[in-house]
Amino acid sequence: MAETVSIKYGHYHVEPRRMEKILTQDINEHEIERIVKNREEFLDWMNQHFAYKTLLAPERYK
């Protein structure tokens, strides 16, 4: 599959014919909330264990 992925304008691009073969599934709101909660917990854990300092956003983004 890597041979069908290219970079255009700094973004990854996958051939559309390749995307047609990927099946998706519907998920309900509860599953979405569970996934988001688990991701936030994982990011918090990563920050607690591996972040040595906090980077602040530049003034133009505040």
Quote the percentage of the chain above a pLDDT of 70.
Answer: 84
- How many angstroms separate the Cα of 7 from the Cα of each of 16, 17, 39, 55? 14, 17, 27, 29
CA–CA separation, 12 and 21 (whole Å): 18
Residue 1 has pLDDT above 60, yes or no: no
The predicted-structure confidence for 43-58, as pLDDT tens digits, reads as follows 989 888 888 877 777 7
| Gap between the terminal Cα atoms of the chain | 40
The sign of the dihedral angle between the CA atoms of 39, 41, 45, 47 is positive
H or E element in which residue 12 lies = strand 11-14
pLDDT (0 to 100) of residue 18 = 67
pTM, 2 dp = 0.47
